[in-house]
Amino acid sequence: MGLTVTEKIIADHLIEGEMIPGSQIGIRIDQTLTQDATGTMAYLEFEAIGIPRVKTELSVSYVDHNLLQSDFRNADDHRFLQSIAARFGIKFSRPGNGICHQVHLERFSSPGKTLLGSDSHTPTSGGCGMLAMGAGGLDVAMAMAGQPFYLRMPKVVGIRLTGSLAPWVSARDVILELLRKMTVKGGVGKVMEYFGPGVGTLSVTDRATIANKGTELGATGTVFPSDEVTRRFLKSQNREHEWKILEADSDANYHEIIEIDLSVLQPMIACPSSPDKVVPVTEVAGKPVSQVIIGSCANSSYRDIVVAAEILEIRDIDPSVSFEINPGSRQVLENVDISGYLRILIHAGARIHQCGCLGCIGMGQAPATGTISLRTFTRNFPGRSGTSDDMVYLCSPEVAVASAVKGAITDPRDLGDAPEVVIPGIFTVNDNGIVSPPQDGSGVEVIRGPNIQPLPEFDPLPEDLKASALLKVEDNITTDHIMPAGSKILPLRSNIPEISRYVFSAIDPKFAVKALEAGSIVIVGGENYGQGSSREHAALAPRYLGVRAKLVKSFARIHKANLINFGIVPLTFVDPSDYDQILQGADIIIPGLRQAILAGSDTVTLKIGADQSIQARMELSERDRKILASGSLLNWVRAKIEAGQA
């Protein structure tokens, strides 16, 4: 039987396991990326593994999240990252050079290769025919050390595109439509693979927008074929030699096929405060907006910014709106300048910011109280913008600019004829923002400021777990709930004792204090627990506070992997209605937990309070079980190295 593109790439990289959906496989990783907010920890972990130089074909360390330097902390982290990159053979993308996913797509994406990144939107490079996936920093550190990346073989969902997009409708609307259909948990355990005649009508950056936002479906990755459009893109980046054709076989077998006729799509918008609360723009048109931002790794490429300039060349921004642009990369900014569009945007009154994540992760750009902010960003989880009662809508650049012009949410089709954006055949390429490591970095001194604290040590799993259900939460809890970000907390990413004080702070500001008093803790949760970011701090910091298990209805993929890496046992209810039986604060005992895990048992009994007991499922591989018993992946790897087995 024929293969899908996803299966072809996996087959080419398979080291362990069989390509049976749901079973564990280990694959070779060709490239890795990190960003600064997860990178400091990832490199401390890489250092702790004890390997002198990365073993990947290419590893890149980006600085794009923590760009505000309101004290020494972020600047210290930048220097640490630059020096440790030189030490271990990693390319370093300097602060201001752009968002990791946009820069990686432009300069390093390569059809048919695998990419693992310590950021959940790493699938962006799937727009260029890669199998690109997000993971926790420790998994990326292991990949840099030449170890396979372990995951469950995904189901491959085929998205068959026909037709072509109507004027004023763009790539963002394709993925918003899919989010409307499938919700934020519809992609868990799946790779979304696009095929069909409509694919050829989408540019690589359009495809990257769709691949990027597949993360909001909970998908493991999104893969586009590599075709003539891909070749032209790589040529425009002066990298045509990287091109190769990559298509699904005509008899490829998709787990499921979803048909989308591009020509019937209309402008869509995600309402507060979840990326899947999607409606046609017409349903919410007329609501006044106070801030409009074009940016983030989903929609900040050349065309996204030029579309805004084209619209604003003959129109004004409404005086009630702060219209802002966060270019995805320095290359985007430079080319928008060369083609004369930057001048138009400046003249129109756009606030042009540096290239990076900025307001997407609450690094500035917080909206005013009680006002609507319209953004081309990835996520609108409550409070993520930095304003606690925020009302953030997510949409295409076309909807964003039309709304900035009218001062209210606007269907761009109301503006008349749509602009035509011409993409340069060859971009001006300038890699000044990327520093290559020396051939031999062994003599490079790694610079550590006081913000870089050593990794905490974790003890092995106890035989019996006696814990308190200190917190019970609902469905769709995000990593932003568990370990918030923003300009105050993000600079603490390399200091676990400090950052752990903010765990669950938006839900219970006293959680950290209570946790340290409680000893061992079990968190109880609902469906899709841990959706969103890849930040391992959402496992690492709770573990530091004493969280030893999480009992939920279902987990998001990356969060579950991070829990295992830091020795937190992921449990799911055998009977989901047992969720209602557990009260917050209950005492929980799991007798023989360690033994049950090591013996390969699929279920375990939890004693709740004095007289209740329930069953929980443990969906764990052999490797997961050994890691959990050791207390963390690092403990396990170190023990293997000491025993001469790794």
Catalytic residue numbers, as ranges: 64-65, 119, 379, 533, 535
Distance CA 545, CA 547 (A): 6
Contact 224, 128 (CB under 8 A): yes
Contact 323, 349 (CB under 8 A): yes
Stretch that binds ligand MIC, among 253-261, 393-401, 419-427, 528-536 (CB under 6 A): 528-536
Letters for 356-385 (x = contact with ligand SF4 by CB under 6 A, - = none) are -x--xx----------------x-------
Q: Verify binding: residue 119, ligand MIC, rule CB under 6 A.
A: yes
Kindly state the smallest distance separating residue 534's Cβ from ligand SF4, in Å: 9
Q: Verify binding: residue 637, ligand SF4, rule CB under 6 A.
A: no
Angle between helices 633-642 and 622-630 (to 10 degrees): 90
Contact 50, 87 (CB under 8 A): no
54: amino acid identity, one letter: V
| Residue 572 binds which of ligand SF4, ligand MIC, none (CB < 5-8 A, kind-dependent) | none
Task: Tell me whether residue 360 or residue 552 sits nearer to ligand SF4 (CB atom).
Answer: 360
Distance CA 312, CA 294 (A): 13
Size of the site for ligand MIC (CB under 6 A): 14
| Residue 99 binds which of ligand SF4, ligand MIC, none (CB < 5-8 A, kind-dependent) | ligand SF4
Residue from 362, 353, 361, 291 nearest 328 by CA: 353
Distance CA 30, CA 9 (A): 11
Letters for 53-82 (x = contact with ligand SF4 by CB under 6 A, - = none) are ------------x-----------------
Q: Verify binding: residue 120, ligand MIC, rule CB under 6 A.
A: yes
Restricting to residues 371-430, name those near ligand MIC by CB under 6 A: 378
Residue from 180, 211, 192, 210 nearest 276 by CA: 180
Instruction: Among 94, 213, 535, 557, indicate the residue that binds ligand MIC (CB under 6 A).
Output: 535
Restricting to residues 309-348, name those near ligand SF4 by CB under 6 A: none
Kindly state the smallest distance separating residue 296's Cβ from ligand SF4, in Å: 4
Residues paired with 605 in a beta bridge: 615
Task: Tell me whether residue 499 or residue 616 sits nearer to ligand SF4 (CB atom).
Answer: 499
Distance CA 542, CA 431 (A): 39
Q: Verify binding: residue 175, ligand SF4, rule CB under 6 A.
A: no
φ, ψ for residue 636, nearest 5 deg: -70, -45
Q: Verify binding: residue 492, ligand MIC, rule CB under 6 A.
A: no
| Residue 37 binds which of ligand SF4, ligand MIC, none (CB < 5-8 A, kind-dependent) | ligand MIC
CB neighbourhood size of 633 (10 A): 27
Q: Verify binding: residue 493, ligand SF4, rule CB under 6 A.
A: no
Stretch that binds ligand SF4, among 240-248, 268-276, 355-363, 571-579 (CB under 6 A): 355-363
Secondary structure element (H or E) that encloses residue 513, with its range: helix 511-518
* Cα Rg of the chain (Å, integer): 24
Q: Verify binding: residue 8, ligand SF4, rule CB under 6 A.
A: no
53: amino acid identity, one letter: R
Kindly state the smallest distance separating residue 74's Cβ from ligand MIC, in Å: 13
How does strand 114-117 pair with strand 31-35?
parallel
Distance CA 191, CA 544 (A): 33
609: amino acid identity, one letter: G
Task: Tell me whether residue 297 or residue 408 sits nearer to ligand SF4 (CB atom).
Answer: 297
φ, ψ for residue 133, nearest 5 deg: -140, 150
Q: Verify binding: residue 77, ligand MIC, rule CB under 6 A.
A: no
Residues paired with 468 in a beta bridge: 521, 587
CB neighbourhood size of 546 (10 A): 17
Kindly state the smallest distance separating residue 544's Cβ from ligand SF4, in Å: 23
Task: Tell me whether residue 63 or residue 265 sits nearer to ligand MIC (CB atom).
Answer: 63
Task: Tell me whether residue 96 or residue 349 sits nearer to ligand MIC (CB atom).
Answer: 96
| Residue 534 binds which of ligand MIC, ligand SF4, none (CB < 5-8 A, kind-dependent) | ligand MIC
Instruction: Among 133, 246, 372, 485, indicate the residue that binds ligand MIC (CB under 6 A).
Output: 485
Distance, C-alpha 291 to centroid of its chain? 24
Contact 308, 346 (CB under 8 A): no
Instruction: Among 4, 6, 32, 38, indicate the residue that binds ligand MIC (CB under 6 A).
Output: 38
Letters for 100-129 (x = contact with ligand SF4 by CB under 6 A, - = none) are -------------------x-x--------
- Distance (Å) of CA 603 to CA 568, 571, 578, 616, 623: 16, 9, 15, 5, 17
Tokens found for residue 347: 């003249």
Give contact residues for ligand MIC (rule: CB under 6 A). 37-38, 65, 119-121, 134, 361, 378, 485, 532-535
Binding site for ligand SF4 (CB under 6 A): 65, 99, 119, 121, 296-297, 357, 360-361, 378
